[in-house]
Amino acid sequence: MLSYFTIHNFKSIQRLTLDLSFAEAKAPHGYKDMTTLPFLQEKGLPRVVPCLGLFGANGSGKSTVVQAFALFQSITRKLKRYSLSRLPISKHF
């Protein structure tokens, strides 16, 4: 599970970190009665939100963030097929 996502030097974004954790100390009131939980949590790990909404003014970089996620997804799918030692990339992303 991703708890944060950092974009560095991608298109118009120099550096951006998205925190995907549920930062509140307490769960929302009545969450046990909800049909869907507002966060995901494995025992001993921080709470993580199951979805992410991006909003902002036109030209603020929302599409760039989505493109960075898509690139990350593409890279991780390729890494499943190959070991890191066979790819001509740095092991430190």
61 vs 54: CA distance, rounded Å: 10
Number of domains in the chain: 1
Query: Quick one: 82 exposed, middle or buried, by C-beta within 10 A (0-12, 13-18, 19+)?
Result: exposed
42 phi and psi, to 5 degrees?
A: -100, 150
Give the per-residue pLDDT at 33.
72
Residue 51 lies in a domain: yes
Asked whether residue 32 is domain-assigned, the answer is yes
Indicate whether 92 belongs to any domain.
no
Report how far apart the first and last C-alpha atoms of the chain are (Å, whole number): 17
Q: 46: domain range?
A: 4-86
User: Has residue 91 been placed in a domain?
Assistant: no
Mean pLDDT of successive 10-residue stretches along the chain, which has 93 residues = 85 89 63 65 68 86 93 85 58 49
